[in-house]
Every structure is written in C-alpha cells, then in structure tokens.
Amino acid sequence: MNVSKGRGNIFYGEFIIPSKETGVNDTFISLNSWTKGMVFINGYNIGRYWPVMGPQETLYIPACKLKPSGQVNTIIVVELESPGEAFSL
C-alpha cells in the first residue's frame, strides 16, 4: 500500500462469518492506529472514529447489520487523513 500522509483513502473489503459460528453476534471493529474517518458495514454507517477529538477508536457493530454465515459482508473504511497499518474485527 502506497499512501501519502494527509490524503484521504477509501478501503473496501469483504468477509464471511465462519460456518462453524452459530448465528451472528454483535461485534466491534478496532481502529486504534487510524487517524480520522468513517466505517460502513453492508451499506450501514457504523460510525466515525477520531481519537484526537474523542475516544472513538472501537466501533460497535450490531448483529442485525451483519449477514449470516456463508454470505458476503462488505466493509468500507473512509480514512480522511492517514490510515493505520491494520484493523481488527
């Protein structure tokens, strides 16, 4: 990934909840090394993160916004400044 500091980026990804899981549970996404932006899961705005202005480094994802096992879930992260190295879900 070649990213310039201070430039916004849009990151898109897909994930599938493992079939061994029984149902879909609430979860969280941690963006503690990212700077400022928004997260969308399956088209729903989960929230914004901006650690400098508030404690939003971990966002809550309700189970009702996730698709069950075997179906593709999408994630879009709109980073307005400079992204971190990774995030965890």
CATH code for the domain of 13: 2.60.120.260
Structure tokens at 62: 């309700």
69 half-sphere exposure, CB direction, 13 A CA radius: 8
The whole-number pLDDT of residue 86 equals: 60
Render pLDDT for 68-88 as a digit per residue (tens, 0 to 9).
Answer: 888 999 999 999 887 766 655
Please state whether 70 falls in left (phi above 0), alpha (psi between -120 and 50) or beta. left
In-domain check, residue 66: yes
Could you tell me what percent of the chain has a pLDDT over 90?
Answer: 42
Residue 1 lies in a domain: no
**Which residue is associated with the tokens 């879930």?**
73
**Looking at residue 14, what is its pLDDT?**
94
Please answer whether residues 57 and 84 qualify as being in contact, where contact means their C-beta atoms are separated by less than 8 angstroms. no
Domain count for the chain, please give it. 1
Residue-number span of the structural domain to which 51 is assigned: 9-79
Asked if residues 72 and 17 have their Cβ atoms less than 8 Å apart, the reply is no
